[in-house]
Amino acid sequence: MSSQTVTLKVGMSCEGCVGAVKRVLGKLDGVESYDIDLKEQKVVVKGNVEPDTVLKTVSKTGKPTAFWEAEAPSETKAQ
């Protein structure tokens, strides 16, 4: 399996939530690095990992977890 990037949306509201996500990712085999953005509620994991495994592992924290959906680059807002 080659190295890949998995991006998740995780419902984190505080540094305690970030700590919980860090703990489970730190125990997951194959993780090379990760970046947690509390403000965006975004978690990016890099390594030799399966996306479904990362999703299941992070969801064990009890936080709402889903794959990050790429937003349309040009969202139009009604005016």
Q: Look at the alpha carbons of 6, 51, 23, 63 in this order and tell me if their dihedral is positive or negative.
A: positive
Interval 69-79: pLDDT, tens? 865 454 444 44
pTM for the predicted model, two decimal places? 0.84
Q: How confident is the model at residue 68 (pLDDT cuts 50, 70, 90)?
A: very high
Buried-exposed string 28-51: b where 16+ CB fall within 10 A, e elsewhere: beebeebebeeeebebebbbebee
Give the start-to-end residue ranges of the domains of the chain.
4-67
| CATH architecture entry for 4-67 | 2-Layer Sandwich (3.30)
Q: Are 12 and 18 in contact (CB under 8 A)?
A: yes
Closest CA relative to residue 31, chosen from 41, 39, 23: 23
